[in-house]
């Protein structure tokens, strides 16, 4: 069979357009395809919700790819082991209640399981604004990352969502947009605003990440390092159990919310 470049191009455009049109109206929009964002999307898709991830970079996985300082092994504590077992990520015990996993296996397995569960990933897409209606976040305003980087004056498009998760990590990209464009508002955080990430303290950081994973404004949730930095909690370093458990927690919070509304 002769290969036809136009048919190849047509196939990509048709399938991507179908995918985009199918995800303009979501149950849950996840901003950031790192560990907590993908875990949340995986769990929500498992629970039957219509969910999509919007990742500004070319690849998903966030900081997990590099493990600690590019030693591509990650550490998981006992509390998160059942979730990784369910995902099928192989763990090796090393110290009492500590496990290691190959970072590349962990990222690729989590990504594959997330998509196969029914979540859609849109990479190279940035969120430049949110939609707010009657003091509630109701969706995202999206643009190609390349357009953002080139500073081109191109109007964005919108995604409607019943719930939105900021899982953008240290940068708090969506939290900052929400506050900058909608003052005066108060967030459900200890300070009422952004507390800011504190220096590394793994034990406090892991507990705080899970504790502060929650809805901080109507329809708007934070997870992973975004929860840590918003609340003003210590960073945890190269241990990923809290990120995984944060993703599970935010998914379960949203599942209960959506289920209670029928």
Establish if 225 belongs to a structural domain.
yes
pLDDT of residue 238: 87
Exposure letters 65-85 (e unless 16+ CB within 10 A, then b): bebeeeebebbbbeebbebbe
Distances (CA, A) of 47 to 27, 40, 42, 253, 256: 11, 11, 9, 12, 10
* Banded pLDDT at 262 (limits 50, 70, 90): low
Residue 70 lies in a domain: yes
Which helix (H) or strand (E) covers residue 81, if one does?
helix 81-87
Domain count, the chain: 1
What pLDDT shows up at residue 1? 85
Residue 44 reports pLDDT greater than 80:
yes
pLDDT band of residue 108 (cuts 50, 70, 90) is very high
Decide if 12 is inside a domain.
Answer: no
Average pLDDT, integer, range 91-96: 96
**Would 53 be classed as within a structural domain?**
yes
| Full-model pTM | 0.96
pLDDT-above-90 percentage for the chain: 97
Core vs surface per residue 147-179: b (16+ CB within 10 A) or e: bbeeeeeeebeebebbbbbbbbbeebbbbebbb
Residue 13 lies in a domain: no
Domain presence at residue 6? no
Answer yes or no: is 16 within a domain.
no
Mean pLDDT of 175-203: 94
93 found inside a domain: yes
Domain at 76, CATH number: 3.50.50.60
Domain containing residue 108: 23-260
pLDDT computed for residue 260 by the predictor: 87
Degrees, nearest 5: CA angle 251-255-259 = 175
């Amino acid at each position: 069979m002769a290969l036809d470049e136009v048919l190849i191009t047509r196939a990509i455009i048709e399938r991507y357009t179908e995918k985009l049109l199918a995800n303009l109206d979501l149950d849950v929009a996840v901003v950031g395809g790192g560990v907590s964002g993908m875990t949340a999307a995986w769990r929500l898709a498992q629970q039957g919700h219509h969910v999509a991830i919007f990742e500004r970079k070319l690849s998903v996985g966030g900081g997990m790819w590099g493990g600690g300082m590019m030693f591509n092994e990650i550490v998981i504590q006992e509390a998160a082991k059942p979730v990784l077992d369910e995902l099928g990520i192989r763990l090796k015990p090393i110290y009492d209640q500590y496990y290691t996993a190959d970072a590349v296996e962990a990222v690729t397995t989590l990504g594959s399981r997330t998509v196969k569960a029914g979540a859609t990933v849109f990479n190279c897409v940035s969120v430049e604004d949110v939609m707010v209606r009657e003091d509630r976040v109701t969706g995202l305003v999206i643009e190609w990352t390349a357009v953002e980087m080139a500073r081109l004056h191109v109007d964005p498009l919108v995604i409607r969502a019943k719930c939105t998760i900021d899982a953008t990590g240290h940068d708090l990209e969506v939290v900052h947009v929400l506050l900058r464009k909608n003052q005066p508002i108060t967030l459900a955080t200890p300070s009422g605003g952004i507390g800011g990430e504190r220096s590394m303290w793994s034990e406090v950081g892991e507990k705080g990440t899970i504790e502060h994973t929650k809805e901080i404004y109507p329809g708007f949730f934070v997870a992973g390092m975004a929860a840590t930095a918003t609340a003003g909690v210590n960073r945890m370093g190269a241990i990923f159990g809290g990120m995984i458990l944060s993703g599970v927690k935010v998914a379960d919070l949203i599942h209960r919310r959506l289920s209670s509304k029928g």
